[in-house]
């Protein structure tokens, strides 16, 4: 599977501008031969926009994303707000190249007051879904900073962990160091797709990357709007998990106490 990762500043609060940018990115990615495009966290509306996110979530944003995916015949993981009753979730939705909804992950680990003031927490540690011959795990931003999340993805057979992100200063070390560790300790691909630029009170670090199961950085960005491309090969995951058998060598019977508060 060929994936494209869209790092962008976006236009906070302007759904039409962001969907236009998504449309253009999908056209470019599809022309490049990509099977799947991944946006950053809350790309469709913007992330640090306060209560405006609830108003924008009243529109059927998922249907708009699905139409773009279908028109370009490319699967899309889009970051967007999702209303469910009175609750608003920070969601990463995966739609197939035919526009069908395949999976959604609601951010499980809320980051500080910024998230908690606006969003409800999802109740799934990780979301797994198969697309073609690749098992995909969906996480969002802060989720990946908990080792349990990526370990659960790997234990569930994931080949790649897709992480739409809005990582801000002063936490650039997460993008620079932790993502390689998560890929290495689980022998899976990790695609960390970050926001860039300034938005509200936040300055984003950019530094999106795709890291292979050996910890090798396959594609990386600094600052600026960019599409990163990488190939996801399940055979490479199998080879690396055999060569570096962290998963096989675990002793879960010793770990029970780690789940206690």
Catalytic residue among 5, 82, 88, 107: 107
Q: Is 88 a catalytic residue?
A: no
Q: Is 41 a catalytic residue?
A: yes
Catalytic residue among 41, 82, 145, 199: 41
CA geometry: angle at 241 spanning 180 and 247, to 5°?
A: 90
CA distances from 230 to 32, 220, 233 (A): 11, 10, 10
Q: Which residues of 50-79 are buried (b: 16+ CB within 10 A; e: fewer)?
A: eeebeebbeeebbebbbebbbebebbbbbb
Q: What is the 3-state secondary structure (H, E, C) of the chain?
A: CEEEEEECCCCCCCHHHHHHHHHHHHHHHHHCCCCEEECCCCCCCCCCCCCHHHHHCCCCHHHHHHHHHHHHCCEEEEEEEEEECCEEEEEEEEECCCCCEEEEEECCCCCHHHHHCCCECCCCCCEEEEECCEEEEECCHHHHHCHHHHHHHHHCCCCEEEEEECCECCCHHHHHHHHHHHHHHHCCEEEEEECCCEECCEEECCCCEEECCCCCEEEECCCCCEEEEEECCHHHHHHHHHHCCHHHHCCHHHCHHHHCC
Catalytic residue among 5, 82, 141, 199: 141
As annotated, the active-site residues are 41, 107, 141
């Amino acid at each position: 599977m060929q994936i494209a990762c869209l790092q962008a500043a976006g236009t906070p609060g302007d759904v039409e501008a962001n969907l236009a940018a998504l449309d253009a990115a999908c056209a470019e990615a599809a022309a490049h031969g990509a099977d799947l495009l991944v946006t950053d966290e809350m790309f469709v509306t913007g992330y640090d926009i306060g209560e405006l996110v609830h108003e924008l979530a009243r529109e059927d944003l998922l249907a708009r994303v699905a139409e773009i995916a279908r028109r370009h015949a490319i699967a899309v993981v889009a970051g967007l707000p999702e209303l469910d009753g009175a609750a608003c979730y920070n969601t990463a939705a995966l739609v197939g190249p035919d526009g069908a909804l395949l999976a959604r992950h609601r951010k499980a680990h809320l980051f500080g007051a910024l998230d908690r003031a606006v969003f409800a927490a999802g109740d799934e540690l990780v979301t797994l879904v198969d697309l073609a011959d690749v098992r995909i795990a969906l996480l969002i931003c802060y989720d990946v900073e908990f080792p349990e999340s990526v370990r659960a993805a790997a234990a569930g057979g994931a080949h790649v962990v897709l992480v739409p992100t809005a990582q801000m200063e002063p936490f650039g070390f997460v993008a620079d160091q932790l993502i390689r560790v998560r890929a290495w300790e689980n022998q899976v691909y990790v695609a960390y797709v970050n926001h860039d630029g300034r938005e509200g009170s936040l300055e984003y670090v950019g530094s999106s990357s795709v890291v292979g199961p050996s910890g090798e950085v396959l594609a990386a960005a600094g600052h600026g709007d960019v599409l990163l491309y990488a190939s996801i090969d399940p055979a490479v995951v199998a080879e690396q998990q055999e060569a570096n058998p962290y998963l096989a060598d675990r002793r879960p019977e010793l770990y029970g106490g780690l789940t206690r508060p």
